[in-house]
Amino acid sequence: MERLHGRHIVLGITGSIAAYKAPLLLRELLQQGAKVRVVMSPSARQFVTEATLAAFAPVVAEVFPAGLPGSWHVEWARWAEAMLIAPCSATTLSKLAVGLCDTAPTLVARSLPRTVPLVVAPAMDTELWEQPVLQRSVAQLQEEGVWVLPPALGELASGAVGIGRLPEVESILSAVEGALTTGVLLPQRRRLWSGRRVLVTAGPTREPVDAVRYLSNASSGRMGYALAEAFRDRGAAVVLVAGPTMLPEPPGMKLCRVETAEQMYEAVQGHSAEADVVVAAAAVADYTPAEPVAGKVRRGVDEWFLRLRPTPDILAHLGQQRRPGQALVGFALEVQAEWSSARQKLAAKGVDLLVLNSLHWGRSGFGGEENTVALLFPDGRLRMLPPRSKRVCAEWIVNAVEEIIGVTDGTE
């Protein structure tokens, strides 16, 4: 399924060296089914040509483009369901904060209806990004409900290594999906998450059999990563404890990489006490080899018996050790007797919310980009959700967590 099928996206491109990635981003938006229009700043032309982009989508690079009426920006802003500026330069970020509209991207961005989300993905050198005046601009835009995607850590055009890289295309698309699902991040929503700490587990674990073999499962980690990004984008401070995955490192959060269930348990123990919300989305192995072989077991033995021992039950420990006011979310992937098994787990683990999916539901389970989930609450409420991308499912789950912590805080 195309993740952005039929959605209207205005893509803004500004004067950052990362603009060379814009054609790849545009192509991916189109491949995911989006209808795209492009606006460029004059500086963006130093890095990518209009002709390259115009081969795929309508392009405007002037405030007063030839052949279009003077109110073209109003029509484009009303056409949009979301606007994405990627890369967003330091200059454009500052202009957006003060309402200066002297380029095509800033003109359309400041003409958007108040219900249309704006997503910006800054890309610049670390010294620019860390300037206090620029961070004040970021804070102001966030207070207005703009989705500001944190830049990534890595090698920069200057040759330095630091925070400032344009995030990977997958992370940018995920943020656009989040914006289309949730809408403008209203100030009261960000205030709900401001100062809150969220711990998320993701991905599989690998339990070593010998030096080269292991027991694991087909979890890709996408659901947990999507949840971590959704909490981050609403303003929470996120710690992501992740087993082995092939996913790019998500910017704007602390990432703890682990391999085994025991390592994940230790990492969770180290961070759970200070977390306001804990989401156990990882597919943790229930058993591990009791006596892994130090070297490699060679072929030649007719039968090889493997003795297994249980791994720590991370969710059960979290339920037993949770402090007052801490929200706990668990996951269950079932194969048979889904509903009864899920209700038993909901009660036994002491969670505030259980996210259930089943291998029988279709577009569900491990590996894929989509999921089909049901949300179970301790008071008996059940919310069955349709198949959607894992980022959209993550937004729905975070909405449910907002209900939980809103009731806890007495804000509803």
Q: For residue range 5-52, what is the model confidence (pLDDT) as tens digits?
A: 999 999 999 999 999 999 999 999 999 999 999 999 999 999 999 999
Does residue 367 carry a pLDDT above 80?
no
List where CATH 3.40.50.10300 sits in the chain: 187-290+307-409
Buried b (16+ CB within 10 A) or exposed e, 27-64: ebbbebebbbbbbbbebbeebbeeeebeeebebbbebe
* 366 pLDDT more than 80: no
Instruction: Confirm if 341 and 335 have CB atoms less than 8 A apart.
Output: no
Q: Tell me the C-alpha distance between 58 and 128, whole Å.
A: 31
Give start and end residues of each alpha helix (H) in 82-218.
90-98, 104-109, 126-129, 132-143, 169-182, 187-193
Residues 339 and 343: their CA atoms lie apart, in Å, by 6
Task: Return residue ranges of the chain for CATH 3.40.50.1950.
Answer: 8-182
- CB half-sphere exposure, 197, CA atoms < 13 A: 10
Rg (CA), the chain: 23
What is the rounded distance in angstroms from the CA atom of residue 255 to the CA atom of residue 253? 6
Summarize pLDDT for 112-168 with one digit per residue, the tens: 999 999 999 999 999 999 999 999 999 999 999 999 999 999 988 888 899 999 999
* Residue 364's pLDDT band (cuts 50, 70, 90): low
Assign 331 a pLDDT band (cuts: 50, 70, 90): very high
pLDDT at 293 exceeding the cut of 80: yes
What pLDDT band is residue 370 in, cutting at 50, 70 and 90? Answer: confident
Average pLDDT over residues 384-390: 91
Cis peptide before 251 (omega within 30 of 0): no
Q: What are residue 240's phi and psi, to 5 degrees?
A: -110, 115
Distances from the Cα of 392 to the Cα of 10, 114, 131, 177, 361, angstroms: 20, 21, 33, 7, 17
**Amino acid at position 198, single letter:** V
Res 412: pLDDT: 43
- Is the separation of the CB atoms in 274 and 197 below 8 Å? yes
Contact 219, 366 (CB under 8 A): yes
Give residue-wise pLDDT tens across range 158-201: 888 999 999 999 999 999 999 999 999 888 888 899 999 999 99
Distance between CA 321 and CA 335 in Å, rounded?
A: 29
For the beta carbon of residue 254, count every other beta carbon within 10 angstroms.
Answer: 12
pLDDT at 411: 43
Confidence of residue 408 (pLDDT cuts 50, 70, 90): very low
pLDDT at position 262 over 50: yes
The model's confidence at residue 365, banded by pLDDT at 50, 70 and 90, is low
Q: What is the pLDDT of residue 304?
A: 81
pLDDT above 90 covers a percentage of the chain that reads 82
410 pLDDT higher than 90: no
pTM, to two decimals: 0.91
Q: What is the mean pLDDT of residues 281-307?
A: 88
CA 51 to chain centre: 32
Average of per-residue pLDDT values in the chain:
93
Task: Please state the three-class secondary structure of 130-162 as a single string.
Answer: CCHHHHHHHHHHHHCCCEECCCEEEECCCCCEE
Q: Tell me the three state secondary structure of residue 28.
A: helix
370-371 vs 308-310, strand pairing mode: unpaired
Residue matched to tokens 């990492």: 267
CA 409 to chain centre: 25
Chain Cα centroid distance, residue 149: 10
| Residue pLDDT, tens place only, 265-283 | 999 999 999 999 999 999 9
- Residues paired with 197 in a beta bridge: 237
CATH among 3.40.50.1950, 1.10.150.120, 3.40.50.2000, 2.60.40.680 for 8-182: 3.40.50.1950
Architecture of domain 187-290+307-409 in CATH? 3-Layer(aba) Sandwich (3.40)
Indicate the Cα dihedral angle 65, 66, 68, 71, nearest 10°: 40
